A and B are shown apart, each in its own frame.
Chain A
Amino acid sequence: SQQGEEDPQALSIQEGENATMNCSYKTSINNLQWYRQNSGRGLVHLILIRSNEREKHSGRLRVTLDTSKKSSSLLITASRAADTASYFCAPSGGSYIPTFGRGTSLIVHP
């Protein structure tokens, strides 16, 4: 299955700290995306990293990809209470259709 598995399932930190969540997948990919879901809302695309890239930045987000280990990580620096949400990785392979895992639930305490 192309589905990503996020780790940890839940993460609780204080405002200002960094939050790191990981994603593992099983087969080769073309790209991997990260999405955020605020409580009760639909998912929102955050960032995409292609299989030939190792690191990508967008504002306070940093994504890394290690295709040899079939893993990716999402780092949110200087977390804010507004970052409280669930985060999903979505690897995509030959069909290019992303598949979603169970997500990491992040709580940032003010």
Chain B
Amino acid sequence: NAGVTQTPKFRVLKTGQSMTLLCAQDMNHEYMYWYRQDPGMGLRLIHYSVGEGTTAKGEVPDGYNVSRLKKQNFLLGLESAAPSQTSVYFCASSYQTSGIDTQYFGPGTRLTVL
């Protein structure tokens, strides 16, 4: 049981380049999330998905797109990277039961945009 995995672990981009971050979970969770974590800012929700084929905006969605074509995968895309998107990105998955949503996090992807 791998839990939540993220690919890649590290990446350096130049301004204007594009990339896709992959999140995969093997727990059959319905819900998946993408967060970014910046020093002093805590975790901010970018986008989330409540099931295969669905996506929704979070707190800071601008500059990012997502897709959930398969239940186990949640992709985060940066079409034209900017230095402000330098951050650590975390993916999480969860299932909701009885009003409780406990999240399981991946190890993170460190992205630097030059």
Contact = CB atoms under 8 A, between A and B. Distances in A.
Interface of A: 30-31, 33, 35, 40-45, 48, 50, 88, 90, 92, 96-103
Given A42-B105, A43-B92, A103-B42, 4 more contacts: A43-B90, A97-B45, A97-B101, A102-B42
A109 B40 CA distance: 22
Nearest to A45: B102
A50 B102 CA distance: 12
B4 interface: yes
A43 B93 CA distance: 12
Q: Which of A44, A88, A102 has the most CB of B within 10 A?
A: A102
B99 A48 contact: no
B103 interface: yes
Contacts of B45: 97, 99
A45 B107 contact: no
Interface residues of B, number: 23
Interface string B85-112: 0000010100010011111111110000
A45 to B, nearest CB: 5
Contacts of B2: none
Given A96-B96, A96-B100, A96-B101, A41 B42 contact: no
A42 B99 contact: no
Contact of A44 (B41, B43, B105, B108): B105
B34 interface: no
A48 B92 CA distance: 17
Contact of B90 (A42, A50, A101): A42
Nearest to A3: B42
Contacts of A102: 40-42
Interface in B36-75: 40-43, 45, 48
A31 B100 contact: yes
A101 B42 contact: yes
